[in-house]
Amino acid sequence: MTSINEIAEDYVARYVELDPQFATELGVPGHDHELTDISLEGFAARNTLTAATLAAIRALEPADEGERVAVAAMEERLALAVESYEAGDDTSALNVIASPLQNMRAVFDQMSTEGEEDHANIARRLAAVPVALEQLKATLLDSAAHGRTSARRQVLACVKQTEDWTGARGGENFWTSLVARTGAAGALREDLERGAATATAATADFGRFLAEELLPSAPEKDAVGRERYQRASREFLGDTVDLDETYRWGLEEVERLRAEIAETAERIVPGGSLKDAVAALEADPTRRITGADNFRAWMQEKSDAAVAALVDVHFDIPEPVRRLECMIAPTHEGVMYYTPPSEDFSRPGRMWWSVPEGQTEFSTWRELTTVYHEGVPGHHLQCGQTAYRTELLNRWQRSMCWVSGHGEGWALYAERLMDDLGYLSDPGDKLGMLDGQMMRAVRVVVDLGMHLELEIPAGFDFGDGTGIDHGGERWTPELGWRFMRANVNLPEAQLAFELDRYLGWPGQAPSYKVGERIWMRARDDAKARKGADFDLKTFHRQALDLGSMGLKPLREALGRL
């Protein structure tokens, strides 16, 4: 291979053979009946491929600006992937949201259930669940033997998830409900039901393994420390930031948002507090929707309206990217998320709402900004446009590269942009956006504070009428919980999940606000460079046409435009 792009194409083609779940995400046929090998040997094989690809691109000179951008993005990502593997981060991963356990379950959400071939693939993949979980057991035990076990909090949270997925806690069994959704009949139905029973038993057994065999080696302490945190931060940002400066900036952002929230609450209930404003919005029947299906329809309506309003005005939106499906997820974890389209767009991008068990009422004032975050101009525009630009981006750039600071930073930038463009002029919708911004700013403080055990400044205001009068006290999960409860308007169960998420996924939560900060700076830098020639639509197109990448190579590439 003589070019960077050839190497990139080959890397993706070989990687999907080693990661069937990733193949399903891309829509690559031929692997939907398999699960990814998560044994030590499976992790090692993928790392060997990554290391060889890294060496290959380092041996070549980029032929043009497009390859220059591609090699900068690939070198940053692949080098860090090898470093993380060698540190044992991959093989020890176990957390409440994004580890091999959750990835194995979530791949079933991406599978088609339309025909007999699809039903057969699901049945074979269900039958593979016990092997995958046995592989994961061995991998985690090996990591434990080397002193790398996730904190007790994460292990217990994953035990609870296995109970939720099997219906042991009184809810719906994910595996049997998956079979019911297929509508299969006859012999295929029998295969599916056997697969679901097998997966249920294996999932329950894995929960027992976590509780009885892994938990005794799990440390009580949640904090991962500076060395691990700095590597995790680089993973999610694609850049090295000053962690202490970022912590101080997060504190400043909380104060700035408190003032803006108070001003907006005043517009809703003159003379009232934030609590009064929220109560007024919750009591407004025009801002509430009953029923998950009705809420899904509202999400679809708002998403379609955003596409229609923005296309050819503020953004270039290719025709296939104008389609986005809003979905109710088959799980009940209380989060909204996005999954990209397949490479050929036969499966569209999808916005999912994982409705908490028993929730039937939905507040539109809270979620309009989330529709923009997950849809257009947020994740769907960004990921869809990247997937579409086959003439500009190689396959690795289009389908395999995802950097949280770039992607989540863009989605927060998109929310704020919609406010600037007047789409959140209603004070209730504006408060929903600011409430989300506050949650992301609080994340910066508590994530850095808890994992690095940073000092809380003297005079710090928790937001609940109490504070820290003197210096010297340091962040703990208990203080992080107190700070979150005082400043984030989420149901307590959802807030508890958020805290577990931060503690088990260090560095990811701050990537939203830090990424937004860098996107805002990039736009301001472009304005300063181009002066009267600056055009916002052109900036957006050029920036998104670079594809996903680390924030350091992004800044460098944008500076050359």
Q: What is the DSSP string of 477-541?
A: HHHHHHHHHHH--S-HHHHHHHHHHHHHSTTTTTHHHHHHHHHHHHHHHHHHHHGGG--HHHHHH
d(CA 172, CA 164): 7
Asked whether 407 and 77 are in contact (CB, 8 A), the reply is no
List the structure tokens of 469. Answer: 């009068």
Can you list the pairs that 425-429 forms with residues at least 24 positions away whose Cβ atoms lie under 8 Å? 426/365, 427/264, 427/267, 427/268, 428/268, 428/281, 428/284, 428/287, 428/365, 429/365, 429/368, 429/369
Residue with tokens 């692997």: 31
Q: What is the pTM of this model?
A: 0.88
List the structure tokens of 58. Answer: 């380092």
User: Residue 388: what pLDDT?
Assistant: 93
Q: Is 507 exposed, middle or buried (0-12, 13-18, 19+ CB in 10 A)?
A: buried
| Opening angle at CA 35, ends 29 and 40, nearest 5 | 130
List the structure tokens of 553. Answer: 């190579």
Which of these, 545, 559, 561, lies nearest to 70 by C-alpha position? 545
Q: How far is CA 428 from the centre of its chain?
A: 26
412's torsion region: left (phi>0), alpha (psi -120 to 50) or beta?
alpha
Per-residue pLDDT of the chain (561 residues; tens, 9 = 90+): 689 999 999 999 999 999 999 999 988 999 999 999 999 999 999 999 999 999 999 999 999 999 999 999 999 999 999 999 999 999 999 999 999 999 999 999 999 998 999 999 999 999 999 999 999 999 999 999 999 999 999 999 999 999 999 999 988 999 999 999 999 999 999 999 999 999 999 999 999 999 999 999 999 999 999 999 999 999 999 999 999 999 999 999 999 999 999 999 999 999 999 999 999 999 999 999 999 999 999 999 999 999 999 998 889 899 999 999 999 988 777 778 899 998 899 999 999 988 887 889 999 999 999 999 999 999 999 999 999 999 999 999 999 999 999 999 999 999 999 999 999 999 999 999 999 999 999 999 999 999 999 999 988 989 888 887 777 899 999 999 999 999 988 888 888 989 999 999 999 999 999 999 989 998 999 999 999 999 999 999 999 999 999 999 998 888 887
Which of these, 145, 92, 142, 135, lies nearest to 506 by C-alpha position? 92
Asked whether 278 and 261 are in contact (CB, 8 A), the reply is no
